[in-house]
């Protein structure tokens, strides 16, 4: 079954725009150096996987591939989707480690571990 021309046009626009925004976020986030912390690394990894999935979907709307190439694309797609679960488990582990390392300032504000001052009230954190 061949998709309607309207569907193909919308798919090209929507997937292409989403892919462009995802790649722009990757570039912007990478430039900030925020990927040096564990949470940033999980965000970057997840966004790379999503971008790869979007790229594959977008390419299949732009070009007519033969059966062999489509079969390879399907296996690649499945592999990328399979990577999402371990990355999400990794993100949960990192999240729990980060939240377990949170401290409380003398005024009761929650502060990330390793902070020298409370971002809410400026109280110095004691070691």
39-70 pLDDT, tens digit per residue, is 889 999 999 999 999 999 999 999 989 999 99
User: Range of 50's domain?
Assistant: 5-111
Which range among 24-38, 42-56, 59-73, 101-115 shows the weakest confidence by mean pLDDT?
Answer: 101-115
Residue 64 lies in a domain: yes
Number of domains composing the chain: 1
Residue 122 lies in a domain: no
Cα atoms found within 13 Å of the Cα of residue 84, Cβ hemisphere only: 11
Residue 59 lies in a domain: yes
Q: How far is residue 56's CA from residue 79's CA, in Å, rounded to a whole number?
A: 12
Burial of 31-40, coded b for 16+ CB within 10 Å and e otherwise, reads eeeebeeeeb
Residue 38 lies in a domain: yes
Residue 126 lies in a domain: no
Say yes or no to pLDDT of 123 above 60: yes
């Amino acid at each position: 079954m061949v998709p309607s021309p309207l569907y193909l046009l919308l798919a090209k626009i929507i997937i292409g725009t989403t892919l462009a925004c995802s790649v722009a976020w990757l570039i912007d986030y990478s430039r900030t150096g925020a990927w040096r912390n564990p949470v940033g690394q999980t965000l970057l990894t997840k966004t790379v996987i999503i971008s790869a999935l979007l790229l594959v979907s977008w390419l299949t709307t732009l070009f007519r591939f033969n059966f062999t190439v489509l079969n390879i694309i399907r296996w690649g797609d499945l592999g990328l989707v399979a990577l999402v679960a371990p990355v999400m488990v990794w993100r949960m582990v990192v999240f729990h480690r980060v939240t377990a390392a949170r401290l409380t300032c003398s005024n009761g504000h929650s502060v990330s571990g390793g902070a020298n001052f409370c971002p809410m009230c400026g109280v110095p954190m004691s070691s």
